[in-house]
Amino acid sequence: MGRAVIQAFSAPDWAITAPGREQLDMHDPGAIRGMLESGPVDLLVCAAGCIRDAPLARMDEAMWNEVFSVNFTGAAACAAAVLPGMIRRGRGHIV
């Protein structure tokens, strides 16, 4: 999904970085900052996510923490890493 969104919304002159699970640990805000603060970001697509196939009533604390860590905290860390540069340059998009 992330790559399709990037292709649909990016401009030809934008530099694209699309790390996969092997390249970026979404549980590690330091790793996220390190990757995303390395250069200007024109488009951030927050498409990383994980799912644990269990109803909330059967989800244990570890499962919940993993899902929340990737799906919310990871996305927030990505946005926080790129937003200052976007504001400074007066441009950028977060999807």
Residue with tokens 């694209």: 16
Q: What is the pLDDT of residues 29-50, one digit of tens each?
A: 899 999 888 888 888 888 888 8
Distance, in Å, from the CA atom of 78 to the CA atom of 58, rounded to the nearest integer, reads 29
Give me the amino acid identity at 51: I
Q: Which of 19, 18, 28 is nearest to 69 (CA)?
A: 28
Q: Does residue 15 have a pLDDT over 80?
A: no
42-74 in b/e burial notation, b at 16+ Cβ within 10 A? Answer: bbbbbebeeeeeeeeeeeeeebeebbebbbeeb
Nearest-5° angle of CA 62, CA 66, CA 72?
135
What's this model's pTM, rounded to 2 decimal places? 0.81
Average pLDDT, integer, range 62-79? 90
CA nearest to 46, candidates 36, 54, 59, 60: 36
